[in-house]
Protein backbone atom coordinates (compact mmCIF):
# COMPACT_ATOMS: atom_id res chain seq x y z
CA UNK A 1 0.00 0.00 0.00
CA UNK A 2 1.57 3.30 -1.07
CA UNK A 3 1.45 6.41 1.03
CA UNK A 4 0.00 9.31 -0.98
CA UNK A 5 1.41 12.79 -0.55
CA UNK A 6 -0.89 15.26 1.13
CA UNK A 7 -0.88 19.04 1.05
CA UNK A 8 -1.87 21.08 4.07
CA UNK A 9 -3.37 24.58 4.06
CA UNK A 10 -4.00 26.65 7.19
CA UNK A 11 -6.78 29.23 7.11
CA UNK A 12 -6.52 31.85 9.91
CA UNK A 13 -10.27 31.78 10.58
CA UNK A 14 -11.63 31.08 14.06
CA UNK A 15 -14.06 28.17 13.60
CA UNK A 16 -17.58 28.22 14.98
CA UNK A 17 -20.39 25.70 15.11
CA UNK A 18 -23.49 26.10 12.99
CA UNK A 19 -26.37 27.38 15.15
CA UNK A 20 -29.84 25.90 15.06
CA UNK A 21 -31.80 28.29 12.85
CA UNK A 22 -35.51 28.95 12.42
CA UNK A 23 -37.66 30.78 9.86
CA UNK A 24 -37.53 33.80 12.15
CA UNK A 25 -33.76 34.05 11.65
CA UNK A 26 -34.36 35.32 8.12
CA UNK A 27 -35.34 38.68 9.61
CA UNK A 28 -34.43 38.51 13.34
CA UNK A 29 -30.84 39.40 14.14
CA UNK A 30 -29.84 36.85 16.80
CA UNK A 31 -26.15 37.19 17.79
CA UNK A 32 -25.36 33.49 17.18
CA UNK A 33 -26.78 33.66 13.66
CA UNK A 34 -24.98 36.92 12.91
CA UNK A 35 -21.64 35.40 14.05
CA UNK A 36 -22.32 32.38 11.81
CA UNK A 37 -23.11 34.59 8.80
CA UNK A 38 -19.92 36.62 9.41
CA UNK A 39 -17.95 33.34 9.59
CA UNK A 40 -19.44 32.18 6.26
CA UNK A 41 -18.62 35.54 4.65
CA UNK A 42 -15.00 35.34 5.86
CA UNK A 43 -14.59 31.75 4.59
CA UNK A 44 -15.90 32.75 1.16
CA UNK A 45 -13.80 35.94 1.05
CA UNK A 46 -10.62 33.98 1.77
CA UNK A 47 -11.47 31.39 -0.89
CA UNK A 48 -11.33 28.35 1.38
CA UNK A 49 -11.85 25.04 -0.42
CA UNK A 50 -12.66 21.54 0.84
CA UNK A 51 -12.20 18.46 -1.36
CA UNK A 52 -15.14 16.14 -1.97
CA UNK A 53 -13.25 13.14 -0.59
CA UNK A 54 -10.19 12.49 1.53
CA UNK A 55 -10.23 15.77 3.45
CA UNK A 56 -8.75 15.95 6.92
CA UNK A 57 -9.98 19.02 8.74
CA UNK A 58 -8.51 20.17 12.03
CA UNK A 59 -10.34 22.94 13.88
CA UNK A 60 -8.07 24.96 16.16
CA UNK A 61 -10.12 26.43 19.00
CA UNK A 62 -8.47 29.42 20.70
CA UNK A 63 -7.77 29.00 24.40
CA UNK A 64 -9.41 31.49 26.77
CA UNK A 65 -7.23 34.49 27.62
CA UNK A 66 -7.98 33.87 31.31
CA UNK A 67 -5.97 30.62 31.30
CA UNK A 68 -2.51 30.73 32.89
CA UNK A 69 0.61 30.28 30.75
CA UNK A 70 1.15 26.91 32.41
CA UNK A 71 -2.34 25.67 31.52
CA UNK A 72 -2.04 27.05 27.97
CA UNK A 73 1.22 25.14 27.49
CA UNK A 74 -0.34 21.91 28.78
CA UNK A 75 -3.55 22.20 26.73
CA UNK A 76 -2.04 23.34 23.41
CA UNK A 77 -2.85 20.65 20.81
CA UNK A 78 -4.99 18.60 23.21
CA UNK A 79 -8.51 17.49 22.19
CA UNK A 80 -11.25 20.09 22.63
CA UNK A 81 -14.02 18.16 24.41
CA UNK A 82 -16.75 20.72 24.92
CA UNK A 83 -19.12 22.85 22.87
CA UNK A 84 -19.28 23.66 20.02
CA UNK A 85 -19.84 20.10 18.82
CA UNK A 86 -17.60 18.78 16.07
CA UNK A 87 -20.52 17.93 13.77
CA UNK A 88 -21.79 21.53 13.94
CA UNK A 89 -18.32 22.83 13.09
CA UNK A 90 -18.16 20.51 10.08
CA UNK A 91 -21.61 21.72 8.99
CA UNK A 92 -20.62 25.37 9.26
CA UNK A 93 -17.44 24.82 7.21
CA UNK A 94 -19.17 22.79 4.49
CA UNK A 95 -22.19 25.10 4.26
CA UNK A 96 -19.93 28.13 3.87
CA UNK A 97 -17.98 26.53 1.00
CA UNK A 98 -20.74 24.63 -0.83
CA UNK A 99 -24.28 25.71 -1.70
CA UNK A 100 -25.10 21.96 -1.82
CA UNK A 101 -22.71 19.80 0.17
CA UNK A 102 -24.31 16.47 -0.78
CA UNK A 103 -21.27 15.56 -2.92
CA UNK A 104 -19.05 15.28 0.17
CA UNK A 105 -18.71 11.57 0.80
CA UNK A 106 -15.57 11.21 2.93
CA UNK A 107 -14.20 13.48 5.61
CA UNK A 108 -12.09 13.18 8.75
CA UNK A 109 -12.23 15.94 11.34
CA UNK A 110 -11.01 16.79 14.82
CA UNK A 111 -10.91 19.83 17.08
CA UNK A 112 -8.04 20.80 19.34
CA UNK A 113 -7.04 23.64 21.63
CA UNK A 114 -4.63 26.19 20.12
CA UNK A 115 -3.17 29.62 20.83
CA UNK A 116 -5.11 31.11 17.91
CA UNK A 117 -8.17 30.00 15.99
CA UNK A 118 -7.62 28.37 12.61
CA UNK A 119 -8.93 25.75 10.20
CA UNK A 120 -6.33 23.36 8.79
CA UNK A 121 -7.34 21.36 5.72
CA UNK A 122 -5.17 18.51 4.52
CA UNK A 123 -5.92 16.84 1.20
CA UNK A 124 -4.32 14.44 -1.25
CA UNK A 125 -2.00 16.38 -3.53
CA UNK A 126 -3.49 14.78 -6.63
CA UNK A 127 -7.09 14.92 -5.35
CA UNK A 128 -9.81 17.06 -6.80
CA UNK A 129 -10.60 20.23 -4.90
CA UNK A 130 -13.94 21.79 -5.70
CA UNK A 131 -14.48 25.51 -5.73
CA UNK A 132 -17.32 27.12 -3.82
CA UNK A 133 -20.65 26.61 -5.54
CA UNK A 134 -22.30 29.70 -4.10
CATH number at residue 80: 3.30.1330
The parent domain of residue 100 ranges over: 6-130
How much is the pTM? 0.81
pLDDT of residue 1: 43
pLDDT of residue 64: 93
Total domains in the chain come to 1
Q: What is the distance between the alpha carbons of residues 111 and 80, in angstroms, rounded to a whole number? A: 6
> Would 89 be classed as within a structural domain?
yes
> Would 72 be classed as within a structural domain?
yes
Average pLDDT score over residue span 36-65:
91
Average pLDDT score over residue span 62-85:
93
Residue 91 CB-density burial (10 A; 0-12 exposed, 13-18 middle, 19+ buried): middle
What does pLDDT average to over the chain? Answer: 85
> Would 1 be classed as within a structural domain?
no
41 pLDDT exceeds 70?
A: yes
> Would 97 be classed as within a structural domain?
yes
Amino acid sequence: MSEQKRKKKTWPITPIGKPRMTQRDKWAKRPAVMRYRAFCDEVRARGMTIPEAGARIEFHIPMPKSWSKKKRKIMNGKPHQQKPDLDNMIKSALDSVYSEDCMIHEIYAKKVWAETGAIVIEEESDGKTSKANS
